[in-house]
């Protein structure tokens, strides 16, 4: 079974936002952004811009008819700046012109008078000044303070992980149309159509029923369009609502890079304690999350960092505290893994530190401490159907762990300027929105009288293949071919109150709703068949005289069944609701059962570092992954490949740079590097573990979107291993990304040690 979309994508037939045919009278919007990261907005001079050719209107906060507020978790984010600006790139005014070129030309004529205020870009500085988005959170189990005395070894340190640009190929944008009776219809490139609908209604002072949002597909999201597609949808809608003309707003790449939030950088302190047999006894960690200037999804991301603070390990005594720190950067947001990778990087750093100090291999500590059945996470949920050890042991056997390690050691003995490094990276990722009420979905299924089927759900297709999976679920449940099934656009008038397509849970939630709806239809058709006719359907024989008498041409038994049901006035539409059972979590005690299940796996990474240049290659990632019972191994493998490469990018080359004024220096693809095919591992083996899946996973096929990104973390530690093979004295901080520059400098702590090249003798 293939992914249904790629053939259309490569032929250029797939319709994205910018491919929607333009309606006559469309105005083009451009956003005037704050040129300062923090200040008092004294005056906005719009006169020159208003006089520029083609300019129709310029809208500011004063033009907003409803509430100037788009904050989700915390109401702290105006749609357009009012009184103050809090980050560079913050939307201040919306300029509407007859052409896109005119809009962008006129934008340069707007003058903002801003009284500068102090700028904070460092999360620890923000925390020291009490600049917190929400009160700190602590997850605790056992008694770590008392446990230190019982530890044979205790190590502590600092770990830093950088942000990450989503770099969806399709930039943010929306196209809004005024509708009858004062409403708006928005075509939006969003993972969260309901979020766009709800916030736009709030901004315009309308009911949600007056705002329709439609999404055909996205050219990538990765979390960047979970919350942050909303401002562009709401701004385009504001323009359309006020002018009563269609308004199109699409960010160009550099504006998107400047104005939108990214993965949260974290700065963390850790302390880890082990007993004589290398069992983890205690772990204390404090996370400082760089949230940017507004809450956005930061509190939820912070929480998931705490959920995944112990990765795939059992630790009996844990105290994990997290601060969400307000800085004058664009609000950081969801990004594949949603804070989980940041948490995992720190405990992997702690284990690496312990291993280096004790002179043992990190994988000895890792293997000894993997979760076992019914071990409790610090939030008290037990690890059920736990495959952490199975994943590791299968990988170890299949990929010859001992042999790989020996190979690396052997290579390093015989090579001076090339060094290999090795790291294992087990993962454990919880599947569900951590906010329990979000774990619900609906599906609307029509069987048309010719036997074809149309399905609407809340799932947004962003390249991950969810539409293919939903079509498969429907075809299987109804017992028909895929060719009869169409998955419709995601539209708030067909399926309401949707959760965003996020948290790896979209196929589970919307797939389960689709399964329920199709099962109800199947039940109804079977009942109809057994009472009215004998059919060749599910082993029954058809008597189709009455169908033929109804004058409906029917080629197959399915078509006969459907048309006969229609003529007998059987309902051929079903709407189903699914809510993940058994979930609960108390955010006051930080205890409960927040996840439907966990996904496990282990990756072995080998790298080679050129110790003259600091450059490196990722030789191989060999993975044993728990897919459950995959019903689309091609899509699932694709998610692993993409996730792994994205994780490698985060850990190695993607380096965001803001200066002290809060200006993004890595503001184009010249200065911000993302992995290409050369950065991908030369060998990428993916072994499908033989596990039963989970009944709360769709058709027992486990969620696959986010977990593989975290395999990329192994690349950081493999590089560290190679650097230490060359330079045991290196004072290498736990600081990602491990760029070639950082590798080079850590190879030569004292630059004069760089080897001189002798033409005759070599090195
Ligand atoms: N989004 C969200 C997410 O709102 N809640 C979550 O728990 C989550 N987890 C992963 C990715 N997006
Ligand atoms: Mo997400 S990080 O939008 O699942």
675-725, pLDDT tens digit by residue?
999 999 999 999 999 999 999 999 999 999 999 999 999 999 999 999 999
- Rounded to two decimals, the ipTM of the complex is 0.94
pLDDT at 550 over 90: no
Please state, in angstroms and rounded to a whole number, the distance separating the CA atoms of residues 526 and 10: 41
Q: Which member of 100, 559, 654, 706 is catalytic?
A: 706
- When pLDDT is cut at 50, 70 and 90, the band that residue 754 belongs to is low
Which tens digit of pLDDT belongs to each residue from 133-144? Answer: 999 999 999 999
Residue (of 474, 726, 434) closest to 583 by Cα position? 434
Nearest protein CA to atom 3 of ligand 2, as residue = 223
Mutate which of 336, 498, 642 for ligand 2 pocket (most atoms within 8 A of beta carbon): 336
Q: Which spans in 69-182 are helix H?
A: 100-107, 123-128, 144-147
Ligand 1 mean position, distance from CA 312 (Å): 19
Please state, for a pLDDT cut of 70, what percent of the chain lies above it: 95
Q: Does residue 554 have a pLDDT over 80?
A: no
Which pLDDT score, from 0 to 100, does residue 762 have?
Answer: 53
Peptide bond into 737 cis (omega under 30): yes
Distance of alpha carbon 299 from alpha carbon 455, whole angstroms = 34
- Express each pLDDT in 472-507 by its tens digit: 999 999 999 999 999 999 999 999 999 999 999 999
Phi-psi region for residue 604, left (φ > 0), alpha (ψ -120 to 50) or beta? Answer: beta
The per-residue pLDDT for range 207-233, each reduced to its tens digit, is 999 999 999 999 999 999 999 999 999
Q: Measuring from atom 9 of ligand 1, which residue has the nearest CA?
A: 503
Average of per-residue pLDDT across 283-310: 98
Closest CA to 464 of 505, 432, 428, 498: 505
Rounded distance between C-alpha atoms, residue 61 and residue 45, angstroms: 14
Tokens 């005024």 correspond to: 178
Chain centroid offset of residue 230 CA: 16
Average pLDDT over residues 40-68: 98
Query: Distance from the CA of 530 to the center of ligand 2, in angstroms?
Result: 45
In this model, does residue 758 exceed pLDDT 80? no
Nearest alpha carbon, ligand 2 atom 4: 502
Strands 27-33 and 247-250, bridge-based pairing: parallel
Q: How are beta strands 55-59 and 91-97 bridged, if at all?
A: antiparallel
Helices in 11-141 by DSSP H: which ranges?
A: 47-50, 100-107, 123-128
pLDDT for residue 611: 96
Lining ligand 1 with CB less than 6 A are 226, 297, 300, 304, 334, 338, 433-435, 502-503
**Which of 332, 502, 505, 705 has the most ligand 1 atoms within 8 A of CB, as the residue to mutate?**
502
Among protein residues, the one with the nearest Cα to ligand 1's atom 7 is 433
Is residue 541's pLDDT more than 70?
A: no
State mean pLDDT over 452-457: 98
- Ligand 1 centre to CA of 97 (Å) is 37
- Helix 388-398 to helix 401-414 angle, to the nearest 10 degrees? 50
Concerning whether 706 is annotated as a catalytic residue, the answer is: yes
What is 143-166 written as a DSSP string?
-HHHHGGG-SEEEEEEEEE--B--
23 DSSP assignment? P
Ligand nearest to the CA of 300: 1
Residue 338 has pLDDT above 90, yes or no: yes
Relative to the CA of 334, which ligand 1 atom is closest?
12
As a whole number, mean pLDDT of residues 256-283 equals 98
Closest atom of ligand 2 to CA, residue 336: 2
What mean pLDDT do residues 418-429 have? 98
Write down the pLDDT at residue 189: 98
DSSP letter at 710 equals: G
Instruction: Using the mean position of ligand 2's atoms as its centre, give its distance from the Cα of residue 509 in Å.
Output: 14
* 226 CB near ligand 2 (under 6 Å): yes
Which atom of ligand 2 is nearest to 335's Cα?
A: 2
Q: Check pLDDT > 50 for residue 620.
A: yes
Q: Tell me the Ramachandran region of residue 374: left when phi exceeds 0, alpha when psi lies from -120 to 50, beta otherwise.
A: left
pLDDT over 80 at 252, yes or no: yes
Domains parsed from the chain with CATH numbers: 6-118+166-259 (3.90.1170.50), 266-433+591-747 (3.30.365.10), 440-579 (3.30.365.10)
pLDDT at 528: 87
Rounded to the nearest angstrom, the distance between the alpha carbon of 81 and the centre of ligand 1 is 27
- Look at the block and give the residue holding tokens 């609407």: 456
| From 334, 438, 592, mutation site for ligand 1 pocket: most ligand atoms within 8 A of C-beta | 334
pLDDT-derived band at 525, boundaries 50, 70, 90: very high
Please give the number of the atom of ligand 2 that sits closest to the Cα of 706: 4
What pLDDT, in 10s, does the model give residues 115-168? 999 999 999 999 999 999 999 999 999 999 999 999 999 999 999 999 999 999
Question: Which residues pair with residue 620 across a beta bridge?
Answer: 606, 683
* Band of pLDDT at residue 540, cut at 50, 70 and 90: very low
| pLDDT value of position 321 | 98
**Spatial contact of 327 and 290, defined as CB atoms under 8 Å apart:** yes
Which comes out higher in pLDDT, residue 730 or 292? 292
**For a pocket test of ligand 1, which of 297, 379, 594 has the largest count of ligand atoms closer than 8 A to its C-beta?**
297
- The residue-averaged pLDDT of 577-587 equals 98
Three-class HEC string of 199-259: HHHHHHCCCHHHEEEEECCCCCCCCCCCCCCHHHHHHHHHHHHHHCCCEEEECCHHHHHHH
Does the pLDDT at position 746 exceed 90?
yes
Computed over every residue of the chain, the mean pLDDT equals: 95
pLDDT at 212: 98
pLDDT score for 752? 53
Using an 8 Å Cβ cutoff, are 330 and 293 in contact? yes
Average pLDDT value for residue range 430-445: 98
Which residue has the CA at smallest separation from atom 11 of ligand 1? 503
pLDDT band at residue 533 using 50, 70 and 90 as cut-offs: low
**Residue 224 alpha carbon to ligand 1 centre in Å:** 12
- Point out the ligand nearest to the CA of residue 433: 1
């Amino acid at each position: 079974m293939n992914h249904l979309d790629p053939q259309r994508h490569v032929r250029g037939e797939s319709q994205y936002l910018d491919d929607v045919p333009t309606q006559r009278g469309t105005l083009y919007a451009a956003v005037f952004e704050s040129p300062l990261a923090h200040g008092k907005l004294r005056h906005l001079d719009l006169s020159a811009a208003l006089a520029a050719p083609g300019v129709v209107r310029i809208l500011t906060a004063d033009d907003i008819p409803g509430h100037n507020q788009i904050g989700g978790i915390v109401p702290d984010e105006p749609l357009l700046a009012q009184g103050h600006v809090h980050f560079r790139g913050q939307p201040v005014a919306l300029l509407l012109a007859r052409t896109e070129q005119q809009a962008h030309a006129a934008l340069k004529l707007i003058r903002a008078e801003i009284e500068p205020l102090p700028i904070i870009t460092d999360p620890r500085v923000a925390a020291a000044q009490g600049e917190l988005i929400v009160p700190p959170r602590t997850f605790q189990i056992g008694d770590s303070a008392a446990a230190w005395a019982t530890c044979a070894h205790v190590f502590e340190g600092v770990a830093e992980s950088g942000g990450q640009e989503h770099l969806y190929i399709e930039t943010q944008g929306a196209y809004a149309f005024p509708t009858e009776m004062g409403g708006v219809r928005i075509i939006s490139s969003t993972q969260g159509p309901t979020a766009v609908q709800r916030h736009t209604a709030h901004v315009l002072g309308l009911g949600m029923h007056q705002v329709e949002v439609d999404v055909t597909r996205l050219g990538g999201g990765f979390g960047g369009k979970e919350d942050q597609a909303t401002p562009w949808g709401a701004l385009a809608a504001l323009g359309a609502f006020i002018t009563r003309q269609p308004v199109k707003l699409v960010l160009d790449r550099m504006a998107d890079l400047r104005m939108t939030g990214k993965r949260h950088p974290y700065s963390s302190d850790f302390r880890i304690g082990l007993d004589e047999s290398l069992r983890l006894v205690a772990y204390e960690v404090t996370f400082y999350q760089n949230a940017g200037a507004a809450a956005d999804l930061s509190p939820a991301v912070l929480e998931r960092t705490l959920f995944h603070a112990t990765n795939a390990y059992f630790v009996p005594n844990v105290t994990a505290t997290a601060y969400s720190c307000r800085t004058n950067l664009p609000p950081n947001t969801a990004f594949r893994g949603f804070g989980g990778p940041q948490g995992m990087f720190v405990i992997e750093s702690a284990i690496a530190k312990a291993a280096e100090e004790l002179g043992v291999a990190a994988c000895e500590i890792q293997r000894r401490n993997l979760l076992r059945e019914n071990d409790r996470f610090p939030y008290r949920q037990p690890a059920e159907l736990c495959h952490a050890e199975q994943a590791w042991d299968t990988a170890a056997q299949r990929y010859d762990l001992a042999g790989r390690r020996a190979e690396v050691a052997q290579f390093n003995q015989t090579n001076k300027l090339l060094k290999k490094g090795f790291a294992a990276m087990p993962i454990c990722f919880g599947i569900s929105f951590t906010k329990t009420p979000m774990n619900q979905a609906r599906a609307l299924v029509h069987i048309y009288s010719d036997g074809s089927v149309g399905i609407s759900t809340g799932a947004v297709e962003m390249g991950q293949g969810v539409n293919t999976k939903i079509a498969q679920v429907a075809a299987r449940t109804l017992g028909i071919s895929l060719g009869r099934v169409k998955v419709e656009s995601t539209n708030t008038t067909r399926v309401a109150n949707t959760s965003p397509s996020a948290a790896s849970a979209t196929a589970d939630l919307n797939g389960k709703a689709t399964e329920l709806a199709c099962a109800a239809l199947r039940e109804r058709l079977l009942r109809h068949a057994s009472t009215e006719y004998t059919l060749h359907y599910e082993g029954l024989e058809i008597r189709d005289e009455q169908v033929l008498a109804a004058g409906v041409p029917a080629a197959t038994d399915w078509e006969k069944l459907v048309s006969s049901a229609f003529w007998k006035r059987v309902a051929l539409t079903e709407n189903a609701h699914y809510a993940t059972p058994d979930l609960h979590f108390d955010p006051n005690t930080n205890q409960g059962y927040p996840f439907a299940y966990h996904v496990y796996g282990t990756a072995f990474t080998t790298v080679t570092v050129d110790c003259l240049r600091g450059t490196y290659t990722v030789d191989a990632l060999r993975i044993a992954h728990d897919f459950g019972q995959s019903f689309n191994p091609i899509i699932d493998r694709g998610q692993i490949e993409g996730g792994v490469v994205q994780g490698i990018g985060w850990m190695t080359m993607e380096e965001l740079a803001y200066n002290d004024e809060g200006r993004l220096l890595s503001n184009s693809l010249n200065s911000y590097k993302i992995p290409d095919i050369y950065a991908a591992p030369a060998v990428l083996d993916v072994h499908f573990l033989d596990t039963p899946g989970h009944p709360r996973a769709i058709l027992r096929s486990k969620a696959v979107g986010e977990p593989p990104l975290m395999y990329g973390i192994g690349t950081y530690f493999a590089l560290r291993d190679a650097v230490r093979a060359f330079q045991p004295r290196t004072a290498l901080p736990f600081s990602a990304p491990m760029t070639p520059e950082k590798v080079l400098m850590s190879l030569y702590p004292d630059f004069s040690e760089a080897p001189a090249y002798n033409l005759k003798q070599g090195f």
